[in-house]
Structure 1
């Protein structure tokens, strides 16, 4: 499964939960995560999507480290299984109002 299909599953799954998964392109800031997910209740997550066998670049790791140091929730999500794991967490955040729950750094 390619990264575009993985992104589509994330986007569609977040939409079902009442949220949005914006594609993030930040000129002059290489390596920012692929998506900014905003969920009902105010939770915001930065998501870097990879194929199951993919690996974050050095710049992606640096951007994720910077965002996490600022207190942002960021995760690297691998493959369709990782997206499903993320959506399970997102569903709990929406249902139970766990807006302060931290995401695991990596989801498979």
Structure 2
């Protein structure tokens, strides 16, 4: 058995690339979100059409957020932010469709 990466799985990476490509191609900003010293922050800040949301990406099958990630998402939501866990291309399309109409899904 070969070396196994402890970073994002290929399916998760594919969904992330799909998201970033789609947002970028539409003129949006799919910024990578890192916050040294603050664990559990979402993977991406998406800025498009005057809207901002946070996205945590997980692999389509079996991907689950940690307790810390859930807590960070709840913190963001308490501040009036929209934060999503996205696991597949259909969920990306749903988010983008709403953003193109000038709103964010509930």
TM-score range (shorter-chain normalised) is 0.7 to 0.9
- The answer to whether the aligner puts 1:7 opposite 2:32 as a matched pair is no
Unmatched runs of 5 consecutive residues or more in structure 1: 94-100
Structure 2 Cα separation of the partners of residues 56 and 103 of structure 1: 20
Q: How does the TM-score come out when normalised to structure 2? A: 0.82
Shift of 1:79: 1.5
**Number of residues of Structure 1 aligned to a counterpart in Structure 2:** 96
Q: How does the TM-score come out when normalised to structure 1? A: 0.81
> Who wins on radius of gyration, i.e. which is larger?
2
Q: CA RMSD in A?
A: 1.4
Structure 2 Cα separation of the partners of residues 15 and 102 of structure 1: 17
Q: How does 1:1-108 map to 2 (within 5 A)?
A: 2-40=11-49, 42-53=50-61, 54-93=63-102, 101-104=103-106
Structure 1 segments of 4 or more deviating over 3 A? none
